Amino acid sequence: MTPELMLGWNFIVTVILGLVSWNWKTMSSEVTRLNILLNRTREEMAKEYVTKAEVHADINRVIQRLEALDAKLDRMLELKGR
């Protein structure tokens, strides 16, 4: 191989490796940015939504109130029927 050909190949390989390296750095920073955004989204969702335990506790309170109203209605109907 001639020195000019070797110099040309070295230049081409250097440019290709430089582009690959730059693209790798860009992709790495993009993955980091997306990871940060995903974590923020998870935090925001946790603020807005309730857990299963909270839903069950709320439903149990509603059911207890409905049972109390049902008992009152039963007593009222019994007194009215006498």
Domain boundaries, the chain: 1-49, 50-82
List pLDDT tens digits, range 11-47.
999 999 988 888 888 888 888 999 999 988 888 877 7
Q: What is the dihedral of CA 64, 68, 73, 76, to 10 degrees?
A: 170
pTM, rounded to two decimals? 0.44
| pLDDT at 66 (0 to 100) | 97
Confidence check: pLDDT of 67 > 90: yes
- Could you tell me which of 30, 8, 31, 27 has the C-alpha nearest to residue 19? 27
| pLDDT at 16 (0 to 100) | 92
